[in-house]
Structure 1
Amino acid sequence: MKKILNIVLVLTLFSLVFGGCSKFLEEDLRDQIAVDNFFNNDQEALLAVNGLYRILHRPSMYRTRGLDNYYVNGADEVGPSRNVNGEIHNYLINEGVADGDANWAACYEIVRNASLYITNLEGNEKISEEIRNQALGESLFIRALAYFHLTNLWGDVPYFRELLPLDELGSLERYPKDEIRADMKEDLGRAFELLPGTSSGSDLGRATKWAAATLKAKFHLFDKEWAATKTECDRIINDSPHQLLGDFAAVFDQTNPSDQYNDEQIFVVDFTTDGVFGDSGTSRTDDYNPRLRDEPKNRNNRPDGPGTPTRWELLQADLQAIDQDMSGFGWAIPLPELADQSNWDPDDLRYDATIVREYLGYELQFPYFRKNWNLNNTSPRSNHNENYVVFRLADIYLMAAEAENEMNGPGNAYPYVNKVRERAFEPDKPWSGMSQQQFREAMYDERKFELCAEGWRRMDLIRWGILLDVVKNVQHRPWNNPASNIQSYHVLLPVPQDEILLNPNLLNNDPTNNGYR
């Protein structure tokens, strides 16, 4: 396999992976260091693990639309503002066509490097117990995160936990997803014990035990292991320092680069403008930011008569007056039904914090996700400093509610979902009096309104078994037609064509390649 085989045993990756994406990545490696000469002290152990975080900053992961291509697009929340990204959104995916090869490569680079680090960290008495535990815990967590994405997107995938010889790596068959996930749950249980409970100062952005518990809960949820899901969620809710913020909009406030963390965030990928490396900032925000060439509505109209400024010139001047700009790509905008406030409860405060259709007094041509945009010029195009929030506490409450309902019905599930709804409604609108099925179906919408455009919707629809029905019935814009193309096998991606060409054994257990042949 091309990407798995791309091993550089002289760790030139260290010169690539340590840099200014997160506060703890702002260290400079002075030389290239071979594996045999590494892991001799605490600093080297942390530098190695920083390399795993660095891969999370790749465009194929969290930096740009990377993972969002397959977690956000192709559902009922997000679509492009024009005829772009059609292969993915319109389900024109095939071997060699939007098959996620870059995502596959990045995930296996994490697996490969993390496995190497774990081997070198285990029992290494050159490293202090505290740092050894932290580095091991982080390596276990980030490797599990990679296998989470691999098994979500491709199902059965090649699997290894120790770095294998090149010929073995290059001939691996696909391994049962359920067995991979079982191992990852065990690893995350161990990571929970090893990792610290909090991070602060220069360690902000590093994984804590609560990140490990959340990822473990996600594995259990996706595998419909309701009791285990509930156990992990309760542990996070009851024992972690994380709390729901009182203001929904504040959860996503990224306007102050020096104050971008909050108590609701459990794990984030931290991007920094103008870091040491050119990809230190994120360009994902640009997908959610408007293009001024599109805005506002009736942009060429001159409201004050002939010879006076157009509406777009007036909007630009008003933006510049508050040091803002609309310099994004506009690729990721709400689909019409989500943007229509009549499809939300009229008292749901999350609508205005999530969707924007008017700005600075100008009606916009398209709706946008207010929760994901940032127009400040201090966060420039393709170099934004926002945190990508991977896990947050409100999701944990909703997961606990769903698990409790599936086990025992809604009676004891109400307090979890109502805790999230307390800040969402004024006056409060708690749930009550539902059957188990009514609660289950209400959760379909509750997770959409609370978590939309955060990377969970498509996998939620898949695990509920309703992706095809939803995609076929939701309204899309004229340039998109996913309803005409989506098939049952689209719940997974095909194993990338380049990988199959190098390793035909990937088809041994499934000659159909997830139904694409």
Structure 2
Amino acid sequence: MKNIIKIIGFLSIGMGLLILSGCENFLEEDLRDKIPTNTFFSNDAEALLAVNGLYRIWHNEALYGRRGLDNYNLYGADEVGPGRNINGVIYNYLIAEGVIADQDDLGDVWASLYEIVRNSDLDIANIEGNEALSEKIRDQTLGEALFMRAFAYYHLTNLWGDVPYFRELLSLDELRTLERTDKTLIRTDMKADLNRAFALLPSTYSGKDLGRASKWAAATLKAKFHLYDREWALAKEECLKVINNSPHRLLDNYADVFDQSEVANQFNDEQIFIIDFTKDPLLSAGGSFLHTDDYNPRLRDEPKDRTQRPDGPGTPQRWEIFKDVMAEYGEDMTGFGWAIVMPELADQNNWEEGDLRYEATVVKEYLGFELNSPYFRKNWNLNIVSSPRNNHPENYVVFRLADVYLMAAEAENELNGPANAFQYVNRVRERAFDPDVPWGGMSQLEFRESMYDERKFELSAEGQRKMDLIRWGILLDVVKSTEQKSWNNPADNIQPHHVKLPIPLTEILLNPNLLNTDPTNNGYR
């Protein structure tokens, strides 16, 4: 996938397969008479081409290419904060119904997710039962399209709750009259689709196909749906499918899970589903993964006491010395310095004594130089050759096995108490401590509340935290009690309705029926 996604994605667009919805809305054009289904999907290569286009959409800056989804899945909680006074509208819960006049327009996220839904509908309709395709490719591509549509609706229902729902291509007039559908119905259908995807998808891939959705990605996504809907037995069942039957394993060293310094070794056995990015050799800047730049520091900010001259007047300043030392390793600080570790998470005293994940997660000193801000070591890459600014080849890890173990532990505790839940969480903690510090002797409530922190420490800055806090019903309490940087004040602004987002105003203007079932637009009017 790493070598073909970019090329095939653009080819799909050029052939008219991808339904480009743009930045304003997903109601721009009537597509049914513009899609060349009579001449496409006629062989395996074309089916793969169409489905590869779905993967390419996840590269949009509004989704995983930059901070699009992270704005709403991660920021405004208790892990990641802006390194300076930026992104305040989103971070400080000043979101209004209209366009967000900050770094990213909420409408772009909505439009990109529905772009995936509509393209998936097209692919499913043309692949299912298509006798021109080999059985192997027909099953795989149908499974991938079902997974992609479910993944898009996963984000849509998490962020907005009830949303417009359709499973086939609709005309412009039909789209303009859609009301919102109860998210419970949508999720029920997606769970059924993921059962189909599990049966259709292969267990593993190799070579250029690494990064495609497998049956274990489908099972993990289904487990997420069940967990969010508090269907504990079904959540546990899906988790155990992955734990007991998949080829995935926990790596021995926590830091290795995130080591992307060598492109050839970026895929590892713990990753279940990733968004696969590649460096574009034709671009000196722009066009690829920008997410890493948020976590990479700016040299203009570092190191601490950067203008001091340790060797006296007329000698190099500390930042110049620091730059020279990094250059010896082929590194530099050329990022945006946007995403830093929040004060409480950065303080090692707030972690359990001996937790090895701290050093792999937080960096406050580098190459002998104290830094002004704490950064996420697990999410940065300072190599200026293999990972230059605005053109990074790193993968975004969406699902990994440690998360599945923790979900299994949570589900078992909610079903039957902690007695049989310890085994799952302790598999994750075996790696986190040396000597081991297993859990035991807790009540169900103690286990539940301890899991709040365990998921934070294991999965920090991986896009899971905010939705965890929302589904646990504690987002407001956590935000109001979390230490912030001086330029942020989310505790003063957060309200109960902020657990969901407003439907973008551009969509409501095009389709007022979106307010029929909820005239308040999720409480924002």
Q: Give CA-to-partner distance per residue, 1:163-187, whole Å, 9 cap, x none.
A: 1122111110000001000000000
Q: C-alpha offsets along residues 467-500 of structure 1, whole Å, 9 cap, x if unaligned?
A: 0000000000000000000000000000001100
The amino acid of 2:163's aligned partner reads: V
Structure 2 residue identity aligned to 1:67: L
The DSSP-based 3-state class of the residue aligned with 2:239 is: helix
Matched, 1:415 2:423: yes
d(CA) in 2 for partners of 1:280 and 1:382?
A: 7
Secondary structure, counterpart of 1:363 in structure 2 = strand
TM superposition shift of 1:276:
6.9
**One-letter identity of the residue aligned with 2:458:** E
Q: Is the 8 Å Cα contact of residues 287 and 390 (structure 2) preserved in structure 1?
A: no
Taking the aligned partners of 1:149 and 1:423, their CA distance within structure 2 comes to 30
- Structure 2 counterpart of 1:150: 156
Q: Is 1:262 paired with 2:265?
A: no
- Which of 221, 245, 256 does residue 227 from structure 2 map onto? 221
CA deviations over 1:123-155 (Å, ceiling 9, x no partner) = 110111110111100000000000000000000
User: Which runs of structure 2 are paired with 1:184-333 in the superposition (5 Å)?
Assistant: 184-274=190-280, 281-333=288-340
Tell me if 1:118 matches 2:124: yes
Taking every aligned residue pair, what percent have the same amino acid on both sides? Answer: 67
1:477–1:508 Cα change, 3 Å: same
- For 1:51-130, what aligned pairs fall within 5 Å after superposition? 51-98=53-100, 100-130=106-136
1:340 equivalent in structure 2: 347
Alignment of 1:315-464 (within 5 A): 315-377=322-384, 378-464=386-472
Distance (Å, rounded) in 2 between the aligned partners of 1:169 and 1:380: 42
Q: Specify the alignment match of 2:29 in structure 1.
A: none
Q: Is the 8 A contact 1:349 1:425 kept in 2?
A: yes
- Give the Cα–Cα distance (whole angstroms) in 2 for the partners of residues 63 and 109 of structure 1: 15
C-alpha contact 2:5 2:53 (8 A) present in aligned 1: no
Equivalent in 178, 183, 193 of residue 184 of structure 2: 178
SS in 2 for 1:495: coil
2:42 equivalent among 40, 44, 63: 40
Query: How far does residue 36 in structure 1 lie from its aligned partner after superposition?
Result: 2.4
One-letter amino acid of the counterpart of residue 335, structure 2: G
Larger mean Cα displacement after TM superposition, 35-44 or 236-245: 35-44
Using the size of structure 1 for normalisation, the TM-score is 0.94
2:307, 2:317 within 8 Å by CA — same for their partners in 1?
yes
- Residues 47-98 of structure 1, C-alpha deviations (whole Å, 9 max, x = no match): 0001100101100110100100011100000100100000110000011243
Deviations 1:428-470 (A, max 9, x none): 0000000000000000000000000000000000000000000
Whether contact under 8 Å (1:21, 1:57) holds in the other structure is no
Deviates more, 1:27-36 or 1:189-198: 27-36
Give the aligned residue type for 1:234.
Answer: L
- The answer (yes or no) to whether the contact 1:137–1:190 under 8 Å persists in 2 is yes
Aligned to 2:22: none
State the one-letter code of the partner of 2:186.
I
Tell me which amino acid in the other structure corresponds to 1:508. N
Q: Which runs of 5+ in 1 are unaligned?
A: 1-19
The match for 1:7 is: none
The whole-number CA distance in structure 2 between the counterparts of 1:106 and 1:331 is 23
1:7-43 per-residue CA deviation (whole Å, 9 max, x = no partner) reads xxxxxxxxxxxxx865455447496352321100000
The yes-or-no answer on 1:507 pairing with 2:515 is yes
Residues 488 and 435 of structure 1: CA distance in aligned 2, closer, same or farther (over 3 Å): same
Alignment of 1:445-484 (within 5 A): 445-484=453-492
Q: State the SS of the aligned residue for 2:263.
A: coil
Other structure's SS at 2:432 match: coil
Q: Note the C-alpha offset of 1:286.
A: 0.5
Give the aligned partner of residue 16 of structure 1. Answer: none
- How many aligned positions are there? 498
Q: How far 1:321 moved relative to its partner?
A: 1.1
Using the size of structure 2 for normalisation, the TM-score is: 0.93
| Distance in 2 between residues matched to 1:128 and 1:24, nearest whole Å | 22
User: Which residue identity does 1:258 align to in structure 2?
Assistant: A
The one-letter code matched in structure 2 to 1:153 is L
Q: Name the CA distance, whole Å, in 1 between partners of 2:4 and 2:126.
A: 25
**Residues 257 and 268 in structure 2, CA contact (< 8 A), matched pair in contact too:** yes
Aligned to 1:333, the other structure's residue is in SS state strand
What is the alpha-carbon distance in structure 1 between the residues aligned to residue 38 and residue 63 of structure 2?
A: 29
Q: Please give the per-residue CA displacement for 1:381-411, whole angstroms capped at 9, x wherever unaligned.
A: 0100001000000000000000000000000
- Aligned to 2:310, what secondary structure does the other structure show? coil
Q: Distance in 2 between matches of 1:275 and 1:395?
A: 34
The answer (yes or no) to whether the contact 2:99–2:107 under 8 Å persists in 1 is: no
Local SS of the residue matching 1:400: helix
